[in-house]
Chain A
Amino acid sequence: MARSKKKTISTEIEDLNLVPIMNLVVCLIPMVLVGMSLVKIGVINVNAPRFGMGQAEPSDDEEKPLGLTIAIAEDGFRLTATGADINTELGEAPAAPAGDPAAAAMPQPGVFIAKNGDVYNYTELYNKLVVLKDNHADETIVNLTADAKIPFKFVIKVMDSIRFRLETDKYDDAESFTAASPKMESNQQVLLWPDVVFAVAKQ
């Protein structure tokens, strides 16, 4: 009986040599990591700055704008307005900084929000701006100014505190203010004082 000879063909496949590709990938990953920043960058919109605190007087038949200004000083915030008596609206006596009789003698020295120790009182700033917004619902513009040496980060914190209305109109402590979420209407955040205009008085 004839025996068929079976030729054995090697079916083993050599492993693909991935080492060069690995080298390439290992080089590319650090390069991309170095080139990209892992922190998320956002932006805050601001309006063109207004230099000099002067403002054109509206004619008699025009409603006078509120002209609200927040000034960041070393010792706290000062709120002033050219178009309304915010001291009366906020139920605050004209509070000039201590030892400043000239400011106290001004017709509207504004409202002063002192620091809590070394920390600015953003909660009280929000509470007062909500009251002013309720009294002047059409107003959106707020002028923001600061002492020359105030760090920029405090300006950003003030803008964060006043742009949107939160769940509640009044907060008693900083913790609840920090934890609060923005108030939503029709799936959009309710604005408080969104149009910030930078102002600086010429020296």
Chain B
Amino acid sequence: MVKLTKSQDDHGKSREEIISEWVAQQSQAARQGRKARRLPEGEATVTINSLMDAMTIILVFLLMNYSIDPLRVDSSEDLKLPPSTTDINPEPSATVTITAKGIVVNDEVVATLNADGQVDKTKKLGGDETALQIQPLFEALNEEASRQKEVSRLAGSRFDGLLTVIAHGETPYRLVTEVLYTAGQAEFSRYKFAVLKGGQRGT
């Protein structure tokens, strides 16, 4: 008791009182600090770490699939590929796309089709309706063949003359043969038809 009396300061507080006051102040400051870090009433945060992980995995998966796909087909009402039971994968090659409205080479429409799915006779060789050669297609494919030959020459390989035909399922057979004939005239000699995998036989 004597000691306590001695420890009294000028304000008349004992040492224990000062200590307990200081502890109370510290804990109040800590409480206020925690409270200050807290969001205002009614708001919350979302932990996005796990979401970030999932999105990174999805992004890597999509990029891998994107990079190994040698043939890209943007399906639409005008370009619905026929289904097939084939399991052969496409190879990089020149492509001709036959939609319900036109024939496309290298993203450029070279000929438009009429309502019957035929090319206008003025676009055919000699303006003859029965001709098989579609002149604007021939010119586009000839240019593509020349370009590929030049690339093959520089690469020291041989021009393989491979052409992938991406055709709408409702394309008339006559037009398909006209496209193949024209491609043959432009020195493309190997053909592949692009189809949708997973079709059923005989249905």
Given contacts A43-B88, A148-B173, could you give 18 more A-B pairs where the C-beta distance is less than 8 Å? A37-B69, A39-B75, A39-B196, A39-B197, A41-B69, A45-B88, A51-B132, A72-B173, A148-B174, A149-B172, A151-B172, A152-B172, A152-B173, A152-B176, A157-B82, A177-B202, A178-B200, A198-B176
A151:B169 contact, CB within 8 angstroms: yes
**Most chain B C-beta atoms within 10 Å of own C-beta, residue among A19, A42, A47, A157:** A42
User: What chain A residues lie within 8 Å of B88 (beta carbons)?
Assistant: 42-45
Evaluate whether A152 and B171 lie within 8 angstroms (CB atoms) in the complex, with A45-B192, A49-B177 already known. Answer: yes
Closest to B184 in A: A48
User: What chain A residues lie within 8 Å of B65 (beta carbons)?
Assistant: 36
Is A18 close to B, CB under 8 A?
Answer: yes
Is A40 close to B, CB under 8 A?
Answer: yes
Query: How many chain B residues have a CB neighbour from A under 8 Å?
Result: 61
On A, residues with C-beta under 8 Å from B are 18-19, 21-22, 25-26, 28-29, 32-33, 35-37, 39-49, 51, 72, 122-123, 126, 145-153, 155-157, 159-161, 174, 177-178, 180, 198, 200, 202-203
A149:B173 contact, CB within 8 angstroms: yes
For the complex, what is the distance from the CA of A156 to the CA of B62, rounded to whole Å?
Answer: 30
Of the residues A18, A47, A126, contact of B49 by C-beta under 8 Å: A18
Interface residues of B in 38-89 (CB under 8 A from A): 48-49, 51-52, 55-56, 58-59, 62-63, 65-66, 69, 71-75, 81-89
A42:B90 contact, CB within 8 angstroms: yes
Within the complex, the shortest CB–CB distance from A22 to chain B, in Å, comes to 6
User: What chain A residues lie within 8 Å of B58 (beta carbons)?
Assistant: 29
Evaluate whether A43 and B62 lie within 8 angstroms (CB atoms) in the complex, with A48-B189, A198-B180 already known. Answer: no
B59:A202 contact, CB within 8 angstroms: no
For the complex, what is the distance from the CA of A148 to the CA of B129, rounded to whole Å?
Answer: 13
User: What chain B residues lie within 8 Å of A202 (beta carbons)?
Assistant: 130, 132
Is B101 close to A, CB under 8 A?
Answer: no
User: What chain B residues lie within 8 Å of A36 (beta carbons)?
Assistant: 62, 65-66, 69, 72
For the complex, what is the distance from the CA of A22 to the CA of B54, rounded to whole Å?
Answer: 11
User: What chain B residues lie within 8 Å of A203 (beta carbons)?
Assistant: 130
Task: Give 5 nearest A-B pairs by CB, closest first.
Answer: A153-B82, A153-B169, A148-B174, A122-B202, A43-B192
B130:A22 contact, CB within 8 angstroms: no
Within the complex, the shortest CB–CB distance from B155 to chain A, in Å, comes to 23
User: What chain A residues lie within 8 Å of B201 (beta carbons)?
Assistant: 122, 157, 160-161, 177-178, 180
**Most chain A C-beta atoms within 10 Å of own C-beta, residue among B56, B88, B184, B203:** B203
- Some 7 contacts from A to B, beta carbons below 8 A apart, are A22-B55, A37-B75, A45-B190, A155-B173, A156-B169, A157-B203, A198-B176
For the complex, what is the distance from the CA of A115 to the CA of B79, rounded to whole Å?
Answer: 27
For the complex, what is the distance from the CA of A32 to the CA of B85, rounded to whole Å?
Answer: 28
A49:B171 contact, CB within 8 angstroms: no
User: What chain B residues lie within 8 Å of A44 (beta carbons)?
Assistant: 84, 86, 88, 192-193, 195
